[in-house]
Homo-oligomer: A and B are copies of this chain.
């Protein structure tokens, strides 16, 4: 598959930065240009690591297109997905929390495009550009909340509810309307879903089969379309 076409990524670029640094004044536009001039951009294939847990945190990233999974790998080699990050967010901002190694691995869940900057620019951006720090910390806080939610879910819910919840979260964050429902916008395997919900791919497969029979979802290899989100909400609540 060829690289992403320019026409597809550039419109998204504006949108992403808009999310991150809200309304643009003339000054801000100037600042954005300066920031962009210092960035490198790179395309990543599906399933590769952008950076790895424990490695020195040399660069920080902004995801422009695609999705990234933040995973932790256990001593025995199992992967656990901590969260999914959609386009428009900062990534690998170890410096923001005073670390000099990455605390987790970032794997692309789809083809992805990201800008990156050397980490030494972090302090500079925070002090020079108002709102940069604040927005980053909001992101961080949001992620802390998400991870805490996962702890609560895993502690209190059954597998079926967790998978339903995960699906709902995915279509909220990354859903795309299609004719017969909402589709998860990147390739996702049963295995991926199981790593996200702390179960096995077999159990996920059984659940999806069941839901498919009831017309709740529709799935093919690496693709899931949710036809009836409301029914999933009901399921997820007991």
Chain A residues within 8 Å of B, Cβ to Cβ: 72, 74-76, 78, 80, 82, 96-99, 103-104, 134-135, 137-138, 140-145, 147-148, 150-152, 154-156, 195, 198, 237
Contacts and interface: CB of A to CB of B under 8 A. Distances in A.
Highest count of chain B CB atoms <10 Å: which of A140, A148, A195: A148
A133 to B, nearest CB: 8
A138 B103 CA distance: 13
Nearest to A94: B141
A97 B154 contact: no
Specify how many copies of this chain sit in the oligomer.
Answer: 2
Contact of A155 (B98, B135, B154): B154
Contacts of A75: 237
9 contacts: A74-B152, A80-B151, A96-B141, A97-B144, A99-B141, A103-B144, A137-B140, A140-B144, A151-B151
A147 B156 contact: no
Given A78-B155, A154-B198, A155-B198, 6 more contacts: A72-B151, A75-B237, A97-B142, A103-B141, A140-B141, A147-B148
